[in-house]
A and B are shown apart, each in its own frame.
Chain A
Amino acid sequence: MGTLAGTLTLPTFGSQVASKTRVDYQNTPEGALVRRAQAGEEAAFREIVERYQSKVFSIIHGIVRQRNDVEDIAQQVFAKVYLSLKSFDFRSSLITWIYKITVNECFDYLRKRKVRKLVYESDLSEDEVRRVENSEPATDRQIAADSSLAQRDYVLKLLTRVSEEERMLLMLKEVEGFSVEELAERTGMNENTIKVKLFRARQKLVKAAQRLDRTPGLVPG
């Protein structure tokens, strides 16, 4: 598996794919709203926040699952949106751009949390670690939840092995359920480009999964 891919050249991905006209996001009602926000109109920025805050909260909750931290991360996301809105160039839709910032912020949060956990565990004795791990008896429901959590942790681990762009495309495709055509429309990329990028990203995930499966203790639940 994967051995042939390195020796084969990528096909054109799509004689059947009709190329669509790119959406001109600058000349949409949303484009006008963004331009007002870029000009410093706070009411326009507030409208952007109100329009997309539920979506951002859902994305964060799906990835992080720590209800207490969701709002903090959402604040970081919209603060970044506010501070870098002037650099938004309308190549993609605004929500795609916000989606990318959100996913990156979640991974940044997970990376920092992992570092904090390692520091915390290094301060505990072996007995203390064992006591923390066995503090609550597992029920059937707990086991199902643990299995779902293990799957989430596993896929998040795999997603750290791809680039930010690949991660965003995979999430939009697999979690949000967009088709290649919809992805092309939202990102401003060609459909063939999307297919090639997704293919490469999936191959990286396969390789990462093979590596993780060979490592004891990292088998998905």
Chain B
Amino acid sequence: MHAVVMESLEEYLAGTLKPAAQREIETHLNACDACRDEIRTMQDVSQLFLSLRPEEPATPSPGFYLKLMEQVGQRQAAPSVGNIFGLGFAFGRKLIFASLLTLAVLGSYLVLRESGYAPGPSPEAVMAQQESPAFDSAPAQDNMLVTLTAYEH
């Protein structure tokens, strides 16, 4: 929708625009299909709201207040999840905060502990080991054969 319509939309829909502003919008609507269609749908929907106005006044029965207070009493007596565990709302929030804080502290401790391990051989060292003559040597191959045989049994 274009700004010229959008700025005065509520007044236009309510029919309370001054004649000059009304003419300005209508000139635009005559030229702009998109705005015209959108405004028309908005007016149609606006009319539908009239069906939500009560046709006749609805009045409460004489005992309404007493029945209401009975219901309030029942609701107050019904246990909520917090009440079951004897927890108030404020206490529950504090408990959740404390749990999250504990988790954060534990997590940081584990991360620091992991980085405290001695580092393994560097990638260059592993490559050098694989390329060394000893890696393909006969004793090494024999050891591997022995291991495989052991698996078969």
Q: What is the interface of chain A, defined by CB distance below 8 A to chain B?
A: 1-5, 8, 10-14, 46, 49-50, 53-54, 57-63, 67, 70-71, 74-76, 78-79, 82-83, 148-149, 151-152, 154-156, 158, 170-171, 173-175, 179-180, 195, 198-199, 202-203, 205-206, 209-210, 220
**Residues of the B chain whose Cβ atoms lie less than 8 Å from the Cβ of A49:** 64-65, 68
Interface residues on B, range: 35 or more
| A-B residue pair count with CB separations less than 8 angstroms | 129
B6–A10 touching, CB < 8 Å: yes
B78 to chain A, nearest CB (A): 11
**Residues of the A chain whose Cβ atoms lie less than 8 Å from the Cβ of B37:** 1
B57–A58 touching, CB < 8 Å: yes
Interface residues of B in 1-17 (CB under 8 A from A): 1-3, 6-7, 9-10, 14, 16
Closest CB pairs A-B (n = 10): A174-B49, A61-B58, A57-B58, A155-B48, A62-B54, A152-B51, A151-B51, A1-B38, A1-B37, A11-B3
**Residues of the B chain whose Cβ atoms lie less than 8 Å from the Cβ of A75:** 64, 67-68, 71
Residue-by-residue, is B37-54 near A (CB-CB < 8 Å gives 1, otherwise 0)? 110011011101111111
B68–A3 touching, CB < 8 Å: no
A54–B59 touching, CB < 8 Å: yes
A46–B42 touching, CB < 8 Å: no
Given contacts A5-B38, A195-B9, A202-B42, 10 further A-B contacts (CB under 8 A): A3-B34, A79-B71, A152-B52, A171-B52, A174-B50, A175-B49, A179-B14, A180-B10, A205-B42, A206-B42
